[in-house]
């Protein structure tokens, strides 16, 4: 498993759900957002603290509450490193 895939999955899930605490998304939506294969997203999501909602369409995911800040902090650090 690639750590890069975990980060891409984390950031993809964050981008899809950051505006709505109640929004849960599918593996397919995350794969489309990240341009990863669904199997890569499924493997990577195991390493991310997520809430899972079961629906008739399948499993849906959202980053667990207090962990939503992690991608935002990582982005701030990355921007700071790039522009300093």
The predicted-structure confidence for 28-84, as pLDDT tens digits, reads as follows: 999 999 999 999 999 999 999 999 999 998 999 999 988 888 887 887 777 666 665
> pTM for the complete prediction?
0.85
| The pLDDT of residue 62 | 96
Asked whether 68 and 18 are in contact (CB, 8 A), the reply is yes
Token code pair at residue 8: 């891409």
Strands annotated E in 1-84: 50-55, 58-63
Alpha-carbon gap, residue 50 to 68, rounded angstroms: 10
């Amino acid at each position: 498993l690639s750590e890069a895939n975990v980060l891409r999955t984390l950031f993809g899930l964050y981008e899809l759900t950051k505006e709505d605490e109640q929004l849960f998304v599918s593996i397919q939506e995350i794969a489309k957002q990240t341009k990863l294969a669904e199997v890569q997203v499924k493997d990577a999501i195991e390493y991310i603290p997520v809430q899972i909602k079961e629906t008739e369409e399948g499993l849906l995911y959202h980053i667990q509450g207090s962990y939503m800040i992690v991608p935002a902090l990582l982005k701030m650090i990355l921007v700071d490193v790039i522009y300093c």
